[in-house]
Chain A
């Protein structure tokens, strides 16, 4: 009788563990589903490439699940953004090195300026086909895409993710002072660039 009771207790405990695992998996799934599109848009603005953005977001999701899924749910968003921004920054550095090599080996690139500023935006539409509001949005999108990476990160994390200075600093892996500087410069640059497009 005692043996039957003990076996039953083990089965109940095992079921509870399995349900808890499933629940936490569902919670994690919901969290990632809620953040993935924003993350993708942010990565695409930074890289100008759908494929690169998808790779970066997938990698960030994988890293979060593998290393931080055991953490408390409220910690996931800052951790995810930290990983995402790190991946974007890594991509930026790799691309810069690659472009520097290309620049050395090809004189044609000498006049083209910063290659990162010249990445085509696949979602960009011909401005002539847009109305005034859409034109403003297209100009804003192009202006954000052309910001230096750290300024862009600070601006998007604060504006899109609604992070405060401290949270943004943690996500970017820098000091709060740097975030303030990057954000301020980003706003200044955007205001300057958009003054000819703003109604």
Chain B
């Protein structure tokens, strides 16, 4: 018995590797092959991916546009005094010096004015 040299150690290690590779049983070899094929199947396809990405961006864009349209359209569906659909009418109401009762009786004043004109 003796201490091996570094070179002997390296050569023995290489033989050990070859032996271990050859000793891999068929089942293990088949599993390694299956793992390799799975890995290759998972490979990225840049062309396909770019189209997928473009599709995603287009879909997101359409969804954003639709959401924007709905959001802008939503306030017009709300009931307002005398059809004050625009924000300008709302601001006028807030800044006017007239009493709020004046606006609630606006139909009456309209009628009064038309009666006065008729007479």
Residues of A at the B interface (CB closer than 8 Å) are 17, 21, 25, 28-29, 32-33, 36-38, 40-41, 50, 54, 57-58, 61-62, 64-66, 69-70, 123, 136-137, 140-141, 144, 155-156, 159-160, 187, 190-192, 194-199
What mask results when residues 22 to 64 of chain B are scored 1 for a CB within 8 Å of chain A, else 0?
0110001101110110111011111100000000000000000
Contact between A159 and B38, CB atoms less than 8 A apart: no
What are 20 A-B pairs with beta-carbon distances under 8 A? A21-B45, A25-B40, A29-B36, A33-B33, A36-B36, A54-B31, A61-B36, A62-B38, A62-B39, A64-B39, A137-B12, A137-B16, A156-B13, A159-B14, A160-B14, A187-B9, A191-B3, A195-B1, A195-B3, A198-B1
Cα of A190 to Cα of B13 in the assembled complex, Å: 11
Cα of A199 to Cα of B8 in the assembled complex, Å: 11
Cα of A52 to Cα of B74 in the assembled complex, Å: 59
Q: A159-B14, A198-B3 are in contact. Are A37 and B29 (CB under 8 A)?
A: yes
Contact between A160 and B17, CB atoms less than 8 A apart: yes
Contact between A32 and B39, CB atoms less than 8 A apart: yes
Contact between A37 and B13, CB atoms less than 8 A apart: no
* B98 in contact (CB, < 8 A): no
Apart from A32-B39, A65-B43, A155-B13, what are 14 other A-B pairs with CB-CB below 8 Å?
A28-B40, A29-B36, A40-B28, A40-B32, A61-B35, A140-B16, A159-B13, A159-B17, A160-B14, A190-B9, A191-B5, A195-B3, A196-B1, A199-B1
Contact between A58 and B38, CB atoms less than 8 A apart: yes
Of B8, B15, B28, B36, the most chain A CB neighbours within 10 A belong to: B36
- CB-defined contacts of A194 to chain B, threshold 8 Å: 3-4, 9
Residues of B at the A interface (CB closer than 8 Å) are 1-6, 8-10, 12-17, 19-21, 23-24, 28-29, 31-33, 35-36, 38-40, 42-47
Contact between B13 and A160, CB atoms less than 8 A apart: yes
- CB-defined contacts of A192 to chain B, threshold 8 Å: 3
Contact between B14 and A65, CB atoms less than 8 A apart: no
- CB-defined contacts of B20 to chain A, threshold 8 Å: 41, 123, 141
Contact between A58 and B13, CB atoms less than 8 A apart: no
- CB-defined contacts of A33 to chain B, threshold 8 Å: 33, 36
Cα of A199 to Cα of B12 in the assembled complex, Å: 12
- CB-defined contacts of A156 to chain B, threshold 8 Å: 13
Across the interface, A62 reaches (CB within 8 A) one of B4, B42, B46, namely: B42
- CB-defined contacts of B38 to chain A, threshold 8 Å: 58, 62
Cα of A196 to Cα of B3 in the assembled complex, Å: 8
B33 to chain A, nearest CB (A): 8
- CB-defined contacts of A136 to chain B, threshold 8 Å: 12
B10's nearest neighbour on chain A, judged by CB, is A159
Contact between B12 and A140, CB atoms less than 8 A apart: yes
Cα of A199 to Cα of B44 in the assembled complex, Å: 52
Contact between A191 and B4, CB atoms less than 8 A apart: yes
Cα of A124 to Cα of B41 in the assembled complex, Å: 35
Contact between A69 and B13, CB atoms less than 8 A apart: no
